[in-house]
Structure 1
Amino acid sequence: MTSLPAAGPALAQAVRPRQWTKNLVVLAAPAFAGELDNIDSVVRTLLTVVLFTFAASAVYLVNDVLDVVEDRAHPTKRLRPIAAGRLAPRIAVGVAVLLMIVATGLSLALSWQLAVVVASYCLVNVAYSLVLKDEPVIDIAVIALGFLLRAVAGGVACGIDLSQWFLLIASFGSLYMAAGKRYAELHLEVEEGSVTRPSLSRYSATYLRFVWSTSAALLIMSYSLWAFEISVPGPIPWTELSMAPFVLAVLRYAVDVDAGVAGEPEEIALSDRVLQSFAVIWAAMIVLAIYG
């Protein structure tokens, strides 16, 4: 019987540390609200990133336990520790429950509203792993909701009133990445000649292209309207200028989606140097606009 210490290396892989970059979405609301020059807000935001890292890791473990049969038939997911038999499901479930309790409990110390957001993230994703992953459209909505709850958490942790523009940008951006993820998964499984996820068999490539292209258009429109609305008078209109790298980043990411390689958004973010360049230029402009 494998002990927890012996399972350490496999457990460290199973919590998918490369996907922790998704939790940086928590920084969005405090950054746009100009709160990152406030030490209290910075501490609360970073703690929230850690809490979502715990919660997300727990969700990954639960998902891999429940998907073990499908993962073993998948060309790449079969290498995950639980599917490969290197991590016992009972240990994974035990650690997942502990991480969820810790994440929710510590978030309560910051605010009850944040605890509700973190608990909702855990519950929705467990429901996704149990049932919702097999329901077309709903599965995409739940994936998008995971990104959206991260964005909302940053605002809630710092007591920020989230604007309608922020929520629209976060919602359409989340849907854009979620639909792109499903498109890439369908693309890969069709190439391999077998579809292991039931919901994928009910999607077509043209439908998923429609969803992510529509959400991309709405994302760009929402961001552009926001950029003009918050424009601050000055010699250089940084918010308006930031639309250029933002749109180019969306279009660059669409190249990866269209190629069917955006199954894991964090992999694209960590490997696409051109996309990273657009992101750095955009971030620099936003910093100059809000904090300059």
Structure 2
Amino acid sequence: MAERTAVLERKPPVGPGHPPPGPVALPLGLLKTARPRQWVKNVLVIAAPAAAGELFSRHALTQVALVFGLFTAAAAAVYLINDARDADADRAHPTKCRRPVAAGQVPVAVAYAVGGLLAVLAPAAAAVLCTPLTAVLLGAYVVMQLAYCVSLKHVLVVDLAVVTTGFLMRAMIGGVALGIPLSRWFLITTGFGALFMVSAKRYSEAVQMERAAAAAAAAGRTRRIGATRALLTEYTTGYLRFVWQLAAGVAVLAYCLWAMESGGIEGAGLLPWRQLSMVAFILAILRYAVFADRGTAGEPEDVVLRDRALALIGLVWLAMYGFAVADW
């Protein structure tokens, strides 16, 4: 018992009002608050250049890499400010209490300062290094996401629209930076594809919450059922199911219309790759819908990266689309 007490006494305290446990704790805490796992979403910046077949020049690769970095910085700014604003509430949450700001590893004032600095520097750097329209789009993303953190996440349906628009902006900004015209089919497919994933995520969270409530009731326990998102209890699972099914249908329809509008077999390369890619695209949507229907699509990046069948379908689709762009 004495040894255990001595170990606990040697362990540096972490929490509000306590100093960080080491010289690297603050940088690591800031990095963790920036959500490195979420950076994979910013790969969407290559969508428009890839769709236009203009991705592989030196200038395009440089601009896309730059835009990826700037969008990552802008998203990190939003995460930092959001965690600073929600620090008190996060400390009472069973899992969010481990976030660096809530745990005291990153002081609230530092999170606000670094987040505010990144929120200003990212659009400013885009104005200097890219195009004015790129800076406007990035600035609009920051403003919209901060408004979401402050109030819009409490407004039914608007919260879904804001998160979906954030994904759409990621997909648009690569084309905007390179001056590539964005087709209506690209915007419709990307927008409703994003809405499909966002609403499927919300649906999965609602299903998990209902299952937890049912398990608590079956065990005869009185339990206060809360949600990780303020509006989650306001949505019904039936409504969220309707939204993700509607979004999936529109995304598939828009992609098929775009593929068929490209001219059929005439003028194609060895095979009509663009039309054939419809099969892979539809299979990918159907495969992801399996996880949505089960209520296990709460973490989209985990579904995409861990499901081998979905990854294989995605690679086949990329290959077909690449052949179509290259006119093979």
What is the one-letter code of the residue matched to 2:226? V
Alignment correspondent of 1:126: 146
Q: Structure 1 residues 286, 21: closer, same or farther in 2, change over 3 A? A: same
Conservation of the 8 A alpha-carbon contact between 1:2 and 1:88: no
Figure out how many residues of one structure are paired with residues of the other and give that number: 292
Identity of paired residues, percent? 43
TM-score normalised to the size of structure 2?
0.84
Alignment correspondent of 2:7: none
Task: Report the Cα offset of residue 25 of structure 1.
Answer: 0.6
Q: Distance in 2 between the 1:191 and 1:60 partners?
A: 29
Q: Distance in 2 between the 1:104 and 1:2 partners?
A: 33
Alignment correspondent of 2:203: 183
Conservation of the 8 A alpha-carbon contact between 2:87 and 2:108: no
Task: Report the Cα offset of residue 76 of structure 1.
Answer: 3.5
Task: Report the Cα offset of residue 272 of structure 1.
Answer: 1.8
What is the one-letter code of the residue matched to 1:220? V
Q: Distance in 2 between the 1:73 and 1:279 partners?
A: 40
Q: Distance in 2 between the 1:81 and 1:268 partners?
A: 26
Deviations 1:172-223 (Å, cap 9, x if unpaired)? Answer: 1111111112112222333344223331111000100000010000000000
Deviations 1:131-184 (Å, cap 9, x if unpaired)? Answer: 000111000000001001111101100101101111111111111111112112
Task: Report the Cα offset of residue 73 of structure 1.
Answer: 4.7
Alignment partner of 1:195 out of 212, 222, 226: 226
Conservation of the 8 A alpha-carbon contact between 1:114 and 1:153: yes
* Secondary structure in structure 1 of the residue aligned to 2:77: helix
Task: Report the Cα offset of residue 229 of structure 1.
Answer: 1.5
1:167 aligns with 2:167: no
Alignment correspondent of 1:281: 316
Task: Report the Cα offset of residue 82 of structure 1.
Answer: 2.2
Q: Distance in 2 between the 1:75 and 1:251 partners?
A: 34
1:49 aligns with 2:68: yes
Could you say which structure has the larger radius of gyration?
2
1:136 aligns with 2:171: no
What is the one-letter code of the residue matched to 1:195? G
Q: Which moved more, 1:252-261 or 1:280-289?
A: 252-261
Q: Structure 1 residues 218, 127: closer, same or farther in 2, change over 3 A? A: same
Q: Distance in 1 between the 2:298 and 2:115 partners?
A: 23
1:265 aligns with 2:300: yes
Gaps of 5+ in 1: none
TM-score normalised to the size of structure 1?
0.94
Q: Structure 1 residues 69, 204: closer, same or farther in 2, change over 3 A? A: farther
Q: Structure 1 residues 58, 174: closer, same or farther in 2, change over 3 A? A: same
Alignment correspondent of 2:286: 251
What is the one-letter code of the residue matched to 1:274? A
Alignment correspondent of 2:111: 92
Q: Structure 1 residues 258, 64: closer, same or farther in 2, change over 3 A? A: farther
**Structure 1 runs of 4+ off > 6 angstroms?**
none
Task: Report the Cα offset of residue 254 of structure 1.
Answer: 1.3
Alignment partner of 2:244 out of 212, 220, 236: 212
What is the one-letter code of the residue matched to 1:47? L
Q: Distance in 2 between the 1:84 and 1:163 partners?
A: 46
